Structure 1
Protein backbone atom coordinates (compact mmCIF):
# COMPACT_ATOMS: atom_id res chain seq x y z
CA UNK A 1 0.00 0.00 0.00
CA UNK A 2 2.84 2.37 0.95
CA UNK A 3 4.43 1.94 -2.49
CA UNK A 4 1.22 3.11 -4.22
CA UNK A 5 1.14 6.18 -1.97
CA UNK A 6 4.84 6.75 -2.69
CA UNK A 7 4.18 6.55 -6.43
CA UNK A 8 1.31 9.04 -6.10
CA UNK A 9 3.55 11.38 -4.13
CA UNK A 10 6.33 11.09 -6.72
CA UNK A 11 3.92 11.82 -9.59
CA UNK A 12 2.53 14.81 -7.71
CA UNK A 13 6.08 16.08 -7.10
CA UNK A 14 6.83 15.77 -10.84
CA UNK A 15 3.73 17.78 -11.76
CA UNK A 16 4.65 20.44 -9.17
CA UNK A 17 8.25 20.68 -10.40
CA UNK A 18 7.14 20.97 -14.03
CA UNK A 19 4.67 23.73 -13.08
CA UNK A 20 7.30 25.57 -11.00
CA UNK A 21 9.77 25.52 -13.93
CA UNK A 22 7.12 26.73 -16.40
CA UNK A 23 6.06 29.50 -14.00
CA UNK A 24 9.68 30.60 -13.40
CA UNK A 25 10.38 30.65 -17.15
CA UNK A 26 7.31 32.76 -17.84
CA UNK A 27 7.96 35.32 -15.09
CA UNK A 28 11.68 35.69 -15.82
CA UNK A 29 11.18 36.12 -19.58
CA UNK A 30 8.38 38.64 -18.93
CA UNK A 31 10.88 40.66 -16.85
CA UNK A 32 14.06 40.27 -18.92
CA UNK A 33 13.14 39.09 -22.41
CA UNK A 34 13.97 35.70 -23.90
CA UNK A 35 17.63 36.49 -24.62
CA UNK A 36 18.15 37.70 -21.04
CA UNK A 37 17.16 34.40 -19.41
CA UNK A 38 19.14 31.15 -19.30
CA UNK A 39 18.09 27.63 -18.37
CA UNK A 40 20.29 28.05 -15.28
CA UNK A 41 18.29 31.14 -14.25
CA UNK A 42 15.01 29.24 -14.61
CA UNK A 43 16.28 26.21 -12.69
CA UNK A 44 17.61 28.41 -9.87
CA UNK A 45 14.31 30.32 -9.59
CA UNK A 46 12.47 26.98 -9.29
CA UNK A 47 15.06 25.72 -6.78
CA UNK A 48 16.20 22.75 -8.88
CA UNK A 49 19.36 21.92 -10.84
CA UNK A 50 19.82 22.61 -14.57
CA UNK A 51 19.99 18.86 -15.04
CA UNK A 52 16.54 18.53 -13.47
CA UNK A 53 15.26 21.23 -15.84
CA UNK A 54 16.25 19.06 -18.83
CA UNK A 55 14.34 16.10 -17.37
CA UNK A 56 11.17 18.15 -17.98
CA UNK A 57 11.90 20.40 -20.98
CA UNK A 58 14.32 20.28 -23.92
CA UNK A 59 14.73 24.09 -23.93
CA UNK A 60 13.63 27.32 -22.23
CA UNK A 61 11.24 27.92 -25.16
CA UNK A 62 9.46 24.62 -24.42
CA UNK A 63 9.08 25.64 -20.76
CA UNK A 64 7.51 28.92 -21.86
CA UNK A 65 4.95 27.39 -24.20
CA UNK A 66 3.82 24.62 -21.88
CA UNK A 67 0.12 24.03 -21.27
CA UNK A 68 -1.25 22.16 -18.26
CA UNK A 69 -0.47 18.49 -18.73
CA UNK A 70 -2.71 16.86 -21.28
CA UNK A 71 -5.06 19.81 -21.97
CA UNK A 72 -4.87 19.81 -25.76
CA UNK A 73 -4.34 16.06 -25.83
CA UNK A 74 -7.77 15.74 -24.16
CA UNK A 75 -9.60 17.72 -26.88
CA UNK A 76 -10.11 14.80 -29.29
CA UNK A 77 -11.44 12.52 -26.53
CA UNK A 78 -13.69 15.36 -25.26
CA UNK A 79 -15.01 15.75 -28.81
CA UNK A 80 -15.75 12.03 -29.00
CA UNK A 81 -17.55 12.22 -25.63
CA UNK A 82 -19.77 15.17 -26.64
CA UNK A 83 -23.51 14.31 -26.80
CA UNK A 84 -24.35 12.37 -30.00
CA UNK A 85 -27.20 14.74 -30.94
CA UNK A 86 -24.76 17.62 -31.55
CA UNK A 87 -23.34 18.43 -34.98
CA UNK A 88 -19.54 18.34 -35.26
CA UNK A 89 -19.50 22.17 -35.19
CA UNK A 90 -21.58 22.24 -31.99
CA UNK A 91 -19.43 19.53 -30.39
CA UNK A 92 -16.22 21.41 -31.22
CA UNK A 93 -17.72 24.60 -29.81
CA UNK A 94 -18.53 22.77 -26.56
CA UNK A 95 -14.97 21.42 -26.24
CA UNK A 96 -13.30 24.76 -26.96
CA UNK A 97 -15.72 26.60 -24.68
CA UNK A 98 -14.63 24.30 -21.84
CA UNK A 99 -11.02 25.25 -22.60
CA UNK A 100 -11.92 28.98 -22.64
CA UNK A 101 -13.56 28.65 -19.21
CA UNK A 102 -10.48 26.85 -17.88
CA UNK A 103 -8.24 29.64 -19.23
CA UNK A 104 -10.39 32.30 -17.55
CA UNK A 105 -9.60 30.66 -14.22
CA UNK A 106 -5.87 31.11 -15.00
CA UNK A 107 -6.29 34.59 -16.52
CA UNK A 108 -3.17 36.20 -15.03
CA UNK A 109 -0.85 33.44 -16.26
CA UNK A 110 -2.46 33.28 -19.73
CA UNK A 111 -2.34 37.08 -20.19
CA UNK A 112 1.33 37.06 -19.22
CA UNK A 113 2.05 34.23 -21.66
CA UNK A 114 0.34 36.10 -24.53
CA UNK A 115 2.37 39.23 -23.68
CA UNK A 116 5.64 37.22 -23.64
CA UNK A 117 4.85 35.64 -27.01
CA UNK A 118 3.99 39.03 -28.55
CA UNK A 119 7.26 40.52 -27.21
CA UNK A 120 9.40 37.55 -28.33
CA UNK A 121 8.38 36.73 -31.94
CA UNK A 122 11.02 33.97 -32.19
CA UNK A 123 8.56 31.82 -30.17
CA UNK A 124 5.90 31.98 -32.90
CA UNK A 125 7.18 29.18 -35.20
CA UNK A 126 7.17 26.76 -32.25
CA UNK A 127 3.67 27.90 -31.30
CA UNK A 128 2.40 27.46 -34.86
CA UNK A 129 3.94 23.99 -35.06
CA UNK A 130 2.23 22.92 -31.81
CA UNK A 131 -1.06 24.39 -33.03
CA UNK A 132 -0.83 22.40 -36.26
CA UNK A 133 -0.43 19.15 -34.32
CA UNK A 134 -3.52 19.98 -32.23
CA UNK A 135 -5.45 20.82 -35.39
CA UNK A 136 -4.58 17.47 -36.99
CA UNK A 137 -5.64 15.57 -33.88
CA UNK A 138 -8.93 17.49 -33.80
CA UNK A 139 -9.55 16.84 -37.50
CA UNK A 140 -9.04 13.11 -36.91
CA UNK A 141 -11.54 13.25 -34.02
CA UNK A 142 -14.09 15.08 -36.21
CA UNK A 143 -13.62 12.45 -38.96
CA UNK A 144 -14.18 9.70 -36.40
CA UNK A 145 -17.33 11.43 -35.18
CA UNK A 146 -18.99 11.95 -38.58
CA UNK A 147 -17.83 8.70 -40.22
CA UNK A 148 -15.64 8.00 -43.28
CA UNK A 149 -18.24 8.71 -45.95
CA UNK A 150 -18.97 12.24 -44.74
CA UNK A 151 -15.34 12.89 -43.85
CA UNK A 152 -14.05 12.20 -47.36
CA UNK A 153 -14.52 15.77 -48.69
CA UNK A 154 -12.09 17.52 -46.35
CA UNK A 155 -14.75 18.72 -43.88
CA UNK A 156 -12.90 17.53 -40.72
CA UNK A 157 -9.72 19.40 -41.68
CA UNK A 158 -11.68 22.56 -42.54
CA UNK A 159 -13.72 22.45 -39.31
CA UNK A 160 -10.64 21.88 -37.15
CA UNK A 161 -8.74 24.75 -38.85
CA UNK A 162 -11.69 27.15 -38.59
CA UNK A 163 -12.42 26.14 -34.98
CA UNK A 164 -8.79 26.69 -33.95
CA UNK A 165 -8.78 30.08 -35.73
CA UNK A 166 -11.98 31.09 -33.89
CA UNK A 167 -10.37 30.02 -30.62
CA UNK A 168 -7.16 31.99 -31.33
CA UNK A 169 -9.06 35.16 -32.35
CA UNK A 170 -11.27 34.91 -29.23
CA UNK A 171 -8.20 34.50 -27.01
CA UNK A 172 -6.49 37.57 -28.50
CA UNK A 173 -9.68 39.66 -28.20
CA UNK A 174 -9.94 38.51 -24.57
CA UNK A 175 -6.32 39.56 -23.91
CA UNK A 176 -6.96 42.98 -25.47
CA UNK A 177 -9.93 43.53 -23.12
CA UNK A 178 -7.64 42.49 -20.20
CA UNK A 179 -10.22 39.82 -19.39
CA UNK A 180 -13.07 42.29 -18.86
CA UNK A 181 -15.21 40.27 -21.31
CA UNK A 182 -15.24 36.50 -20.57
CA UNK A 183 -13.34 34.54 -23.21
CA UNK A 184 -16.19 32.03 -23.36
CA UNK A 185 -18.55 34.88 -24.47
CA UNK A 186 -16.11 35.92 -27.19
CA UNK A 187 -15.81 32.31 -28.34
CA UNK A 188 -19.62 32.00 -28.43
CA UNK A 189 -19.73 35.15 -30.58
CA UNK A 190 -17.16 33.69 -32.99
CA UNK A 191 -19.02 30.38 -33.29
CA UNK A 192 -22.37 32.16 -33.72
CA UNK A 193 -20.86 34.01 -36.67
CA UNK A 194 -19.45 30.79 -38.12
CA UNK A 195 -22.81 29.02 -37.75
CA UNK A 196 -24.52 31.95 -39.55
CA UNK A 197 -22.12 31.65 -42.51
CA UNK A 198 -19.80 34.47 -41.38
CA UNK A 199 -21.95 37.41 -42.50
CA UNK A 200 -20.29 40.82 -42.70
CA UNK A 201 -20.91 42.93 -39.58
Structure 2
Protein backbone atom coordinates (compact mmCIF):
# COMPACT_ATOMS: atom_id res chain seq x y z
CA UNK A 1 0.00 0.00 0.00
CA UNK A 2 1.49 3.36 -1.01
CA UNK A 3 1.82 5.95 1.70
CA UNK A 4 0.42 9.46 1.18
CA UNK A 5 3.16 12.05 0.69
CA UNK A 6 1.46 15.45 1.10
CA UNK A 7 3.15 17.83 3.53
CA UNK A 8 0.00 18.02 5.69
CA UNK A 9 -0.03 14.23 6.01
CA UNK A 10 3.69 14.07 6.84
CA UNK A 11 3.29 16.80 9.48
CA UNK A 12 0.27 15.07 11.05
CA UNK A 13 1.82 11.60 11.00
CA UNK A 14 5.19 12.64 12.45
CA UNK A 15 3.64 14.90 15.12
CA UNK A 16 1.16 12.28 16.38
CA UNK A 17 3.80 9.51 16.24
CA UNK A 18 6.36 11.62 18.14
CA UNK A 19 3.82 12.60 20.80
CA UNK A 20 3.09 8.92 21.38
CA UNK A 21 6.77 7.92 21.44
CA UNK A 22 7.84 10.68 23.82
CA UNK A 23 4.98 9.86 26.20
CA UNK A 24 3.00 13.07 25.65
CA UNK A 25 0.08 10.96 24.43
CA UNK A 26 -0.10 8.16 26.98
CA UNK A 27 -1.43 4.64 26.49
CA UNK A 28 -5.22 4.62 26.51
CA UNK A 29 -5.59 8.24 25.27
CA UNK A 30 -8.50 8.61 22.80
CA UNK A 31 -7.57 10.54 19.66
CA UNK A 32 -10.12 12.99 18.24
CA UNK A 33 -9.73 13.86 14.56
CA UNK A 34 -11.36 17.30 14.92
CA UNK A 35 -9.18 18.33 17.86
CA UNK A 36 -5.93 17.11 16.26
CA UNK A 37 -6.82 18.83 12.97
CA UNK A 38 -7.42 22.09 14.84
CA UNK A 39 -4.20 21.79 16.87
CA UNK A 40 -2.05 21.07 13.81
CA UNK A 41 -3.84 23.45 11.44
CA UNK A 42 -4.64 20.78 8.86
CA UNK A 43 -7.84 19.20 7.54
CA UNK A 44 -9.24 15.98 8.98
CA UNK A 45 -8.16 13.91 5.93
CA UNK A 46 -4.38 13.85 6.73
CA UNK A 47 -5.25 13.19 10.39
CA UNK A 48 -7.41 10.22 9.37
CA UNK A 49 -4.63 8.90 7.06
CA UNK A 50 -2.04 9.31 9.84
CA UNK A 51 -4.17 7.45 12.37
CA UNK A 52 -4.69 4.64 9.85
CA UNK A 53 -0.93 4.30 9.32
CA UNK A 54 -0.22 4.40 13.06
CA UNK A 55 -2.82 1.63 13.51
CA UNK A 56 -0.88 -0.45 10.95
CA UNK A 57 2.32 0.26 12.91
CA UNK A 58 0.69 -0.89 16.15
CA UNK A 59 0.74 2.44 18.02
CA UNK A 60 -3.01 3.07 17.81
CA UNK A 61 -5.95 0.69 18.17
CA UNK A 62 -9.58 1.76 17.74
CA UNK A 63 -8.55 5.44 17.79
CA UNK A 64 -6.76 5.00 21.15
CA UNK A 65 -3.02 5.04 21.88
CA UNK A 66 -2.02 1.45 22.60
CA UNK A 67 -1.23 0.36 26.11
CA UNK A 68 0.48 -2.95 25.32
CA UNK A 69 -0.41 -5.88 27.54
CA UNK A 70 2.13 -8.53 28.52
CA UNK A 71 0.50 -10.78 25.92
CA UNK A 72 0.94 -8.11 23.18
CA UNK A 73 4.57 -7.77 24.20
CA UNK A 74 5.21 -11.52 24.05
CA UNK A 75 3.54 -11.85 20.63
CA UNK A 76 5.60 -9.03 19.15
CA UNK A 77 8.86 -10.40 20.51
CA UNK A 78 8.03 -13.90 19.20
CA UNK A 79 7.82 -12.42 15.70
CA UNK A 80 11.05 -10.47 16.21
CA UNK A 81 12.88 -13.58 17.44
CA UNK A 82 11.87 -15.54 14.35
CA UNK A 83 12.69 -12.77 11.88
CA UNK A 84 15.77 -11.24 13.51
CA UNK A 85 17.11 -14.65 14.48
CA UNK A 86 16.95 -15.67 10.82
CA UNK A 87 18.43 -12.29 9.80
CA UNK A 88 21.42 -12.87 12.10
CA UNK A 89 21.90 -16.32 10.55
CA UNK A 90 21.92 -14.92 7.01
CA UNK A 91 24.03 -11.90 8.05
CA UNK A 92 26.78 -14.37 9.01
CA UNK A 93 26.85 -15.42 5.35
CA UNK A 94 26.27 -12.10 3.57
CA UNK A 95 27.52 -9.24 5.74
CA UNK A 96 30.31 -7.24 4.07
CA UNK A 97 33.44 -5.90 5.76
CA UNK A 98 32.00 -2.36 5.63
CA UNK A 99 28.79 -3.54 7.31
CA UNK A 100 30.81 -5.36 9.98
CA UNK A 101 32.76 -2.16 10.64
CA UNK A 102 29.47 -0.24 11.03
CA UNK A 103 28.21 -2.95 13.40
CA UNK A 104 31.37 -2.63 15.53
CA UNK A 105 30.88 1.16 15.64
CA UNK A 106 27.35 0.63 17.04
CA UNK A 107 28.86 -1.41 19.88
CA UNK A 108 31.48 1.29 20.57
CA UNK A 109 28.75 3.99 20.77
CA UNK A 110 26.69 1.65 22.95
CA UNK A 111 29.51 1.67 25.49
CA UNK A 112 30.52 5.36 25.29
CA UNK A 113 27.59 7.42 23.94
CA UNK A 114 24.85 9.52 25.50
CA UNK A 115 21.41 7.94 26.02
CA UNK A 116 20.16 9.36 22.70
CA UNK A 117 23.29 8.15 20.86
CA UNK A 118 22.89 4.69 22.43
CA UNK A 119 19.23 4.62 21.32
CA UNK A 120 20.27 5.37 17.70
CA UNK A 121 23.19 2.91 17.82
CA UNK A 122 20.91 0.17 19.21
CA UNK A 123 18.44 0.69 16.34
CA UNK A 124 21.28 0.82 13.79
CA UNK A 125 22.75 -2.43 15.13
CA UNK A 126 19.49 -4.31 14.60
CA UNK A 127 18.78 -2.54 11.28
CA UNK A 128 22.18 -3.48 9.83
CA UNK A 129 21.58 -7.15 10.63
CA UNK A 130 18.05 -7.13 9.18
CA UNK A 131 19.29 -5.33 6.03
CA UNK A 132 22.07 -7.93 5.66
CA UNK A 133 19.40 -10.62 5.29
CA UNK A 134 18.95 -9.25 1.73
CA UNK A 135 15.27 -10.21 2.13
CA UNK A 136 13.02 -7.25 1.15
CA UNK A 137 9.87 -8.86 2.60
CA UNK A 138 11.51 -9.39 5.99
CA UNK A 139 12.97 -5.88 5.94
CA UNK A 140 9.51 -4.42 5.19
CA UNK A 141 7.79 -6.37 8.01
CA UNK A 142 10.38 -5.23 10.57
CA UNK A 143 10.11 -1.67 9.21
CA UNK A 144 6.35 -1.66 9.90
CA UNK A 145 7.10 -2.65 13.51
CA UNK A 146 9.69 0.11 14.10
CA UNK A 147 7.48 2.49 16.08
CA UNK A 148 6.33 -0.12 18.57
CA UNK A 149 9.88 -1.54 18.77
CA UNK A 150 11.08 1.97 19.66
CA UNK A 151 8.89 2.02 22.78
CA UNK A 152 10.50 -1.17 24.09
CA UNK A 153 14.01 -0.14 22.99
CA UNK A 154 13.51 2.99 25.09
CA UNK A 155 12.67 0.77 28.09
CA UNK A 156 15.84 -1.34 27.86
CA UNK A 157 18.15 1.63 27.13
CA UNK A 158 16.71 4.19 29.57
CA UNK A 159 16.52 1.61 32.36
CA UNK A 160 20.05 0.43 31.51
CA UNK A 161 19.45 -3.28 31.05
CA UNK A 162 22.54 -5.17 32.23
CA UNK A 163 24.44 -7.02 29.51
CA UNK A 164 22.72 -5.29 26.57
CA UNK A 165 25.91 -4.19 24.78
CA UNK A 166 27.86 -7.33 25.78
CA UNK A 167 25.17 -9.36 23.98
CA UNK A 168 25.51 -7.12 20.90
CA UNK A 169 29.25 -7.80 20.93
CA UNK A 170 28.71 -11.58 21.14
CA UNK A 171 26.31 -11.42 18.17
CA UNK A 172 28.82 -9.32 16.24
CA UNK A 173 31.64 -11.81 16.93
CA UNK A 174 29.47 -14.73 15.75
CA UNK A 175 28.55 -12.90 12.53
CA UNK A 176 32.16 -11.83 11.95
CA UNK A 177 33.24 -15.43 12.54
CA UNK A 178 30.62 -16.59 9.98
CA UNK A 179 29.01 -18.84 12.61
CA UNK A 180 25.41 -18.69 11.38
CA UNK A 181 23.93 -21.08 13.95
CA UNK A 182 25.53 -19.28 16.89
CA UNK A 183 24.51 -15.83 15.54
CA UNK A 184 20.87 -16.93 15.30
CA UNK A 185 20.87 -18.46 18.79
CA UNK A 186 22.52 -15.38 20.37
CA UNK A 187 20.05 -13.00 18.69
CA UNK A 188 17.09 -15.01 19.98
CA UNK A 189 18.56 -15.06 23.51
CA UNK A 190 19.21 -11.31 23.28
CA UNK A 191 15.61 -10.54 22.33
CA UNK A 192 14.30 -12.94 25.00
CA UNK A 193 16.33 -10.99 27.57
CA UNK A 194 14.86 -7.71 26.24
CA UNK A 195 11.37 -9.20 26.56
CA UNK A 196 11.92 -10.48 30.10
CA UNK A 197 13.30 -7.08 31.15
CA UNK A 198 10.45 -5.12 29.49
CA UNK A 199 7.79 -7.31 31.13
CA UNK A 200 9.43 -6.68 34.52
CA UNK A 201 9.72 -2.90 34.02
CA UNK A 202 6.32 -2.34 32.40
TM-score, length-scaled by structure 2: 0.33
Which structure: greater helix fraction? 1
TM-score, length-scaled by structure 1: 0.33
Choose between structure 1 and 2 for higher RCO, CA contacts under 8 A separated by at least 6 residues: 2
Q: Indicate the structure (1 or 2) with the bigger Cα radius of gyration.
A: 1
